[in-house]
Amino acid sequence: MDVLLLGASGQIGRRIANELLDRGHAVTGVSRSGEVDVEGDEFEAVAGDATDPDEVADLANGHDAVGSALGPPADEDPEVFVPMTEAVLDGLRRSDVDRLVWTGGAGGLNVGPDRKLIDDDEFPDDLVPLAQAHIDALDRIREADDLEWSYLAPPMVIEPGERTGEYRTAVGDLVVDDDGDSHVSMEDFAVAFVDELEDADAVHTQLGVGY
Ligand SMILES: NC(=O)c1ccc[n+]([C@@H]2O[C@H](COP(=O)([O-])OP(=O)(O)OC[C@H]3O[C@@H](n4cnc5c(N)ncnc54)[C@H](OP(=O)(O)O)[C@@H]3O)[C@@H](O)[C@H]2O)c1
Q: Are 100 and 149 in contact, with CB atoms under 8 Å apart?
A: yes
Residue 51: pLDDT band (50, 70, 90) is: very high
156 lines ligand 1 (CB under 6 A): yes
| Model pLDDT, residue 138 | 98
| Beta carbon of 7 within 6 Å of any ligand 1 atom | yes
- Ranges of each domain in the chain: 2-210
pLDDT tens string 69-105: 999 999 999 999 999 999 999 999 999 999 999 999 9
Percentage of the chain lying above the pLDDT 90 cut: 100
Whether 3 and 63 have beta carbons less than 8 Å apart is answered as yes
pLDDT score, position 168 = 98
Calculate how far, in angstroms, residue 134's C-alpha sits from the geometric centre of ligand 1: 11
The mean per-residue pLDDT over the stretch 2-6 comes to 99
In whole angstroms, give the CA distance from residue 189 to residue 114: 26
pLDDT of residue 200: 98
Q: Output the CA 73–ligand 1 centroid distance in Å.
A: 7
Please report the sign of the dihedral spanned by the C-alpha atoms of residue 30, residue 20, residue 171, residue 65: positive
61 Cβ inside 6 Å of ligand 1: no
Superfamily (CATH) of domain 2-210: NAD(P)-binding Rossmann-like Domain (3.40.50.720)
**Across 54-69, average pLDDT:** 98
CA dihedral 184, 185, 190, 196 (to 10 degrees): -20
Span 180-193, pLDDT tens digits: 999 999 999 999 99
Percentage of the chain with pLDDT > 70? Answer: 100
Separation of CA 96 and ligand 1 centre (Å): 25
51 lines ligand 1 (CB under 6 A): yes
Three-point CA angle 135, 138, 143, nearest 5°: 135
